[in-house]
């Protein structure tokens, strides 16, 4: 499988990264190099193998259903590029 410039534009859009025409050209070549290289995994017989997500066996824990956090609004907002009246603010989203 290889990607063309249109696919790269679509991926960049999905990833919310603005790209210039020049960047799309360069990235198309780079991504094809890398994707061509990982294609070799197709040689490996993985029939009947379960995909592995967690490498060291571990049990997910449950904790008591009690409040352990909160009352930290100002800390949460402390690094916001823009915060007003105790909220994060963003450009208007409703016309």
Partner 1 sequence: MAELTDLGIADIRDGFRAGDFSAREVAEAFNDAVASARSLNAFIVETPEHALAAADAADQERAAGSVRPLSGVPLGIKDLFCTEGVQTTAASHILEGFTPTYESTVSERLFLAGAGMLGKLNMDQFAMGSSNETSYFGNVISPWRRNDGGNAPLAPGGSSGGSSAAVAARIAPGATGTDTGGSIRQPAAFTGISGIKPTYGRCSRWGIVAFASSLDQAGPMARDVRDCAILLEAMAGFDPKDATSLDTPVPEWEANLSSDLKGKTIGIPKEYRVDNMPGEIEALWDRGIELMKDAGANVIEVSLPHTRYALPTYYIIAPAEASSNLARYDGVRYGLRDLPDGANLQDMYAATRADGFGAEVKRRILIGTYVLSAGFYDAYYTKAQKVRALIVRDFAEAFEKCDLLLTPTAPSAAFALGEKSDDPLAMYLNDVFTVPSSLAGLPAMSVPGGLDQAGLPLGLQLIGRPLDEQGVLNAALAIEERAGFVARPSQWW
Minimum distance between the CB of residue 91 and partner 1, rounded to whole angstroms? Answer: 5
Measured in Å, how far apart are the chain's first and last C-alpha atoms? 41
Task: Confirm or reject binding of residue 75 to partner 1 (CB under 8 A).
Answer: yes
Distance (Å, whole) CA 9 – CA 87:
33
Q: Which of 2, 6, 73, 80 binds partner 1 (CB under 8 A)?
A: 80
**Rounded Cα gap, residues 32 and 45, in angstroms:** 24
Residue 25 vs 80, nearer CB to partner 1: 80
- Position 62 contacts partner 1 (CB under 8 A): no
């Amino acid at each position: 499988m290889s990607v063309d410039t249109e696919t790269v534009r679509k991926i960049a859009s999905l990833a919310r990264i603005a790209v210039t025409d020049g960047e799309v050209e360069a990235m198309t070549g780079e991504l094809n190099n890398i994707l061509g290289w990982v294609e070799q995994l197709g040689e490996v017989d993985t029939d009947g193998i379960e995909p592995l997500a967690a490498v060291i066996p571990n049990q997910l824990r449950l904790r008591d259903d009690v409040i352990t956090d909160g009352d930290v609004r100002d800390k949460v907002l402390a690094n916001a590029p823009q915060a007003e009246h105790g909220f994060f603010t963003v450009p208007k989203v409703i016309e």
